[in-house]
């Protein structure tokens, strides 16, 4: 789960990491009040879960409170890459001497939290990693012992020479590690970490991603989810216990299992079509899940055909067949449905579908190529 | 005995009396797996289906029933503790089916297992099956058949799809291992590939990967340097968008790294057979095994 910048700032602030004053606003009036309080020139930043906010006009400079109000009214309500902006962050425009990068990620290869720091900050760290990997210092931390004092010092020394800066950064390494561990993060980064002409070290922008698997046992983190910042169909799917990701194609896919769901999308592409979504109905499917899945997919006007690909293991294919029948009775699907079912209770499933005049097949390639052909006919 | 599980497996089911645990335990028993014990704290002394003794702890299951392998079906928040309990009880092979285990928990579990020399498969995996001998986990036994093909996969139902193709084409399996779809898993591709390479019953290997991370690339390097048997591979997620978690916690393209294309390229570089579709497994293997 991605946190907004203002939410990430709150977590860093609680841990004692120094940063510029500032706050989040939902209205131009609030933005104006914050600008007045912090004084001077401010930056008004859209709070959305996409990169490239600046290029899209979602980050603006305001020289006084009146301008801050004006900027906020322009940014609030605008759409960036399909997502509506509901909040802006108002922070002082910083007077910056240097910019660095400090990040902590859950690294798959070492199976540990790994610090990445670089004095080439303020830019896309992936680009730095790809082009000039020697500019990044990496350090894996053993979670049994935590971040050791000399490790924090080594990381700080990779960024600064001035001892006051080094001391401040050393403390921040410990604070960031504690934010990461205590919030079940898979990523916590400060980019940039800046020094000011008057010698301060401050976090300017923050990004935190929480491991979704933490949310069940951490209701305090789960409430940070901002559903207004997500694709509505994906929110609806999550509430129905479905894993759904909207894509741009026209072949709607309903599959059991994440790997098979990806392979189904790939096969749609292989046969010349474009998948409209990723959708995993999960292992223990009940008919209601299938009904919800069909509701979500048919709400997408791009969808020209719906493809079911069910390999019954734990999932009983007759449950899925019952779900399809129930859905077609509840509402008009409006597009053709191609059904591939195989495995547990396959014979019953075929009978259920035949009884309402629907056909099913048990070969994945045949079903996918048929769905792609139907989508093309409908164009 | 193919790899890791077989006729000698004496299984303890952690979470036996729960909904998932009891359902799958019955399936495993029906397949012929020797389940010697179950563990549910608070239900020690009971009998499951009048045939399997239930204990409070794994240590009791080892001492009194001689368990030598554990399978875990407990809720995600309890999974790390269950794995560590099995390790402390001296179980050398632990298979964790549970999905949704917090990843930070796994960063602590892994060194704990290393110190005790314990192999973990999973979490978030379908388990393993040696057809005709034993199944540990949730892979449907009916689609498998004994034979010379070793299979290793990060996925569940996609594995079934491929196994089904193999069985229908007369290509039986030595052992099928689902290593799981999480960012941190106990057993990786290389561990399984090395075991298949050393297993006299395995003549060819199928590897099913997916987007995210670099496990497939590392496996390809290992194959190039060490594996003498033919290997064919598939990568799911060729059409996945960047930065989105595709169901499995580990199936995410971060920035521009972890794509299907870079994994296929590594397969090609290692001289593996490239499955563009699951069904391609048949012709590729038949060609390589002649």
Nearest residue of A to residue B246, measured between CA atoms:
A258
Cα–Cα distances in Å, from A378 out to A251, A273, A303, A305, A371?
11, 12, 10, 8, 11
Residue B77: its chain A contacts at CB < 8 A?
Answer: 216-217
| Residue B273 pLDDT > 60 | yes
Q: How far, in Å, CA of A232 to CA of B10, rounded?
A: 49
Q: Which of B30, B238, B89, B166 is nearest to A265 (CA)?
A: B238
List A101, A160, A177, A346, catalytic entry: A101
> Which of A141, A188, A262, A366 to mutate to test binding with chain B, by most B CBs within 10 Å of its CB?
A262
Q: How far, in Å, CA of A323 to CA of A353, rounded?
A: 10
Span A138-153, pLDDT tens digits: 999 999 999 999 999 9
Contact B162, B234 (CB under 8 A): yes
| Residue A121 pLDDT > 80 | no
Residue A216: its chain B contacts at CB < 8 A?
Answer: 76-77, 100
Percentage, residues of chain B above pLDDT 70: 100
Give the per-residue SS3 of chain A. Answer: CECCHHHHHHHHHHCCCCECCCEEECCHHHHHHHHHHHCCCEEEEECCCCCCCCCCCCEEEECCHHHHHHHHHHHCCCEECCEECCCEEEEECCCCCEEEEEEEEEECCCCEEEEEEECCCCCCHHHHHHHCHHHCEEEECCCCCCCCHHHHHHHHHCCCCCHHHHHHHHHHHHHHHHHHHHCCEEEEEEEEEEECCCCCEEECCEEEEECHHHCCCCHHHHCCCCHHHCCHHHHHHHHCCCEEEECCCCEEEEECCHHHHHHHHHHHHHCCCCECEEEECCCCCCHHHHHHHHHHHHCCCCCCEEEEEEEECCCCHHHHHHHHHHHHHHCCCCCCEEEEEEECCHHHHHHHHHHCCCCCECCHHHHHHHHHHHHHHCC
Cross-chain Cβ contact A311/B250 below 8 Å: no
ipTM: 0.92
Q: Is B57 exposed, middle or buried (0-12, 13-18, 19+ CB in 10 A)?
A: middle
Catalytic residues of B: 248
Of B106, B238, B278, the CB nearest to A269: B238
Q: 3-state DSSP call for residue B32?
A: coil
Which pLDDT score is estimated for A287? 85
Q: How many CB pairs under 8 A join A and B?
A: 162
Query: For chain B, first and last CA: distance in Å?
Result: 24
Average pLDDT over residues B152-156: 95
Which pLDDT score is estimated for B209? 97
Of A213, A259, A343, the CB nearest to B249: A213
Which pLDDT score is estimated for A285? 66
Which pLDDT score is estimated for A284? 63
Residue A80 banded pLDDT, cuts 50, 70, 90: confident
Of B140, B210, B218, the CB nearest to A313: B140
Average pLDDT over residues B30-55: 97
Residue B111: its chain A contacts at CB < 8 A?
Answer: 142, 144
Rounded to the nearest angstrom, the minimum Cα separation between A82 and chain B is 15
Q: Which of B47, B50, B48, B69 is nearest to B58 (CA)?
A: B69
Percentage, residues of chain A above pLDDT 90: 80
Average pLDDT, chain A: 93
Cross-chain Cβ contact A258/B104 below 8 Å: no
Of B106, B138, B247, the CB nearest to A258: B247
Residue B115: its chain A contacts at CB < 8 A?
Answer: none
Residue A222 banded pLDDT, cuts 50, 70, 90: very high
pTM of this structure: 0.92
Q: Which long-range contacts (CB under 8 A, 24 or more apart) does A134-142 make?
A: A136/A101, A138/A114, A139/A114, A139/A115, A140/A107, A140/A110, A140/A112, A140/A113, A140/A114, A140/A115, A141/A112, A141/A113, A141/A114, A141/A115, A141/A177, A142/A112, A142/B111
Of A243, A259, A267, the CB nearest to B157: A259
DSSP β-ladder status, B52-55 and B35-39? parallel
Q: How far, in Å, CA of B2 to CA of A28, rounded?
A: 68
Within chain B, what is the greatest distance between any pair of CA atoms?
A: 56
Tokens 């595709």 locate to: B246
Span B17-32, pLDDT tens digits: 998 899 999 999 999 9
| Residue A112 pLDDT > 80 | yes
Helices marked H in B169-247 = 189-198, 215-226
Cross-chain Cβ contact B246/A342 below 8 Å: no
Average pLDDT over residues B54-59: 98
Which pLDDT score is estimated for A52? 76
Cross-chain Cβ contact B276/A280 below 8 Å: no
DSSP β-ladder status, A98-107 and A112-118? antiparallel
Span A308-357, pLDDT tens digits: 999 988 788 999 999 999 999 998 889 999 999 998 889 999 999 999 99
Nearest residue of B to residue A316, measured between CA atoms:
B140
Cross-chain Cβ contact B248/A263 below 8 Å: no
Active site residue A189: yes
Cross-chain Cβ contact A212/B245 below 8 Å: yes
Q: How far, in Å, CA of A225 to CA of A51, rounded?
A: 18
Of A144, A217, A364, the CB nearest to B108: A144
Average pLDDT over residues B118-145: 96
Average pLDDT, chain B: 95
Residue A94 banded pLDDT, cuts 50, 70, 90: confident
Strand order through the sheet with B69-72:
B47-48, B52-55, B35-39, B11-14, B69-72, B93-96, B119-121
Q: 3-state DSSP call for residue B271?
A: coil
Span B166-175, pLDDT tens digits: 999 999 999 9
Cross-chain Cβ contact B246/A260 below 8 Å: no
Span A283-303, pLDDT tens digits: 766 888 899 999 999 999 999
Average pLDDT over residues B272-290: 94
Span A157-167, pLDDT tens digits: 999 999 999 99
Residue A263: its chain B contacts at CB < 8 A?
Answer: 158, 161, 234, 236, 278
Cα–Cα distances in Å, from A174 out to A164, A179, A212, A332, B289?
16, 9, 24, 57, 55
Cross-chain Cβ contact B236/A342 below 8 Å: no
Q: How far, in Å, CA of A219 to CA of A46, rounded?
A: 26
Q: In this predicted model, which residue has the larger pLDDT, B38 or A131?
A: B38
| Residue B1 pLDDT > 60 | no
Written as one string, the DSSP assignment of B81-149 is HHHHHHHHTT-SEEEE--S---HHHHHHHHHHHHHHT-EEE-SS--EEEETTTEEEES--GGG--EEEE
> Which of B78, B141, B157 to mutate to test binding with chain A, by most A CBs within 10 Å of its CB?
B157
Q: Is B14 exposed, middle or buried (0-12, 13-18, 19+ CB in 10 A)?
A: buried
């Amino acid at each position: 789960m991605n946190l907004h910048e203002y939410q990430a700032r709150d977590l860093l602030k609680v841990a004692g990491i120094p940063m510029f004053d500032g706050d989040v606003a939902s209205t131009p009036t609030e933005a104006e009040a914050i600008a007045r309080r912090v004084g001077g020139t401010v930056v008004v930043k859209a709070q959305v879960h996409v990169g490239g906010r600046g290029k899209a006009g979602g980050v603006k400079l305001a020289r006084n409170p009146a301008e801050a109000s004006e900027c906020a009214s322009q940014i609030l309500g605008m759409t960036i890459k399909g997502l509506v902006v509901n909040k802006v962050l108002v922070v002082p425009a910083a007077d910056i001497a240097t910019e660095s990068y400090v990040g902590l990620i859950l690294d798959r290869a070492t199976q540990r939290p790994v610090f990445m720091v670089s004095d080439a900050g303020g830019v896309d760290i992936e680009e730095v990693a790809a082009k000039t990997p020697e500019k990044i210092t990496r350090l894996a931390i053993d979670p049994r012992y935590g971040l050791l004092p000399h490790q924090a010092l080594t990381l700080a020394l990779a960024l600064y020479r001035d001892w006051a800066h080094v001391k401040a950064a050393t403390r921040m390494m410990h604070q960031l590690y504690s934010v990461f561990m205590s919030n079940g993060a898979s990523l916590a980064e400060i980019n940039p970490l800046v020094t000011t002409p008057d010698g301060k070290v401050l976090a300017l922008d923050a990004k935190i991603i929480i491991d979704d698997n933490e949310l069940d046992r951490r209701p305090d983190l789960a409430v940070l989810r901002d559903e207004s910042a997500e694709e509505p169909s994906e929110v609806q799917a999550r509430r129905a216990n479905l894993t759904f990701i909207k894509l741009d194609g026209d072949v709607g896919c309903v599959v059991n299992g994440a790997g098979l769901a990806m392979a189904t999308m790939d096969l749609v592409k292989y046969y010349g079509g474009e998948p409209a979504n990723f959708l995993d109905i999960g292992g223990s499917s009940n008919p209601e899940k299938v009904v919800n899945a069909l509701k979500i997919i048919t709400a997408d006007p791009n969808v020209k055909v719906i493809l079911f690909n069910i390999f019954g293991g734990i999932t009983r294919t007759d449950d899925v067949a019952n779900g399809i029948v129930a859905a077609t009775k509840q509402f008009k699907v409006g597009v053709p449905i191609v059904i591939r079912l195989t495995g547990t209770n396959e014979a019953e499933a075929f009978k259920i579908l035949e009884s309402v005049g629907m056909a099913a097949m048990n070969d994945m390639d045949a079903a996918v190529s048929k769905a792609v052909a139907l989508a093309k006919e409908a164009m | 005995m193919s790899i890791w599980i077989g006729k000698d497996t004496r299984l303890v089911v952690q979470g036996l009396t729960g909904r998932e645990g009891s359902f799958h335990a019955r399936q495993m028993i029906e397949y012929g797996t020797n389940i010697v014990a179950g563990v549910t704290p608070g239900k020690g002394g009971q009998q499951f289906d009048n045939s399997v003794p239930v204990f409070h702890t794994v240590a009791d299951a080892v001492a009194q029933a001689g368990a030598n392998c554990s399978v875990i079906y407990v809720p995600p928040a309890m999974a790390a503790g269950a794995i560590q309990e099995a390790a402390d009880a001296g179980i050398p092979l632990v298979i964790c089916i549970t999905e949704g285990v917090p990843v930070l928990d796994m960063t602590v579990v892994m060194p704990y297992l290393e110190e005790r020399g314990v192999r973990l498969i999973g979490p978030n995996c379908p388990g393993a099956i040696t057809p005709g001998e034993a199944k540990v986990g949730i892979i449907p036994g009916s689609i498998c058949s004994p034979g010379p093909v070793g299979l290793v996969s990060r996925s569940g139902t996609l594995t079934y799809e491929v196994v089904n193709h193999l069985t229908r084409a007369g290509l039986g399996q030595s052992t099928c291992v689902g290593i799981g779809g999480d960012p941190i898993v106990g057993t990786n591709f290389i561990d399984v590939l090395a075991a298949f390479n050393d297993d006299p019953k395995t003549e060819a290997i199928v590897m099913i990967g997916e987007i995210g991370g670099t496990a497939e690339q590392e496996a390809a390097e290992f194959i190039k340097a060490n594996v003498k048997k033919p290997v064919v591979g598939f990568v799911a997620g060729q059409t996945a968008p960047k930065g989105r978690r595709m169901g499995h916690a580990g199936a995410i393209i971060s920035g521009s790294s972890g794509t299907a294309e870079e994994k296929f390229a590594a397969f090609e570089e290692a001289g593996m057979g490239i499955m563009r579709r699951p069904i391609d497994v048949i012709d590729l293997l038949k060609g390589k095994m002649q």
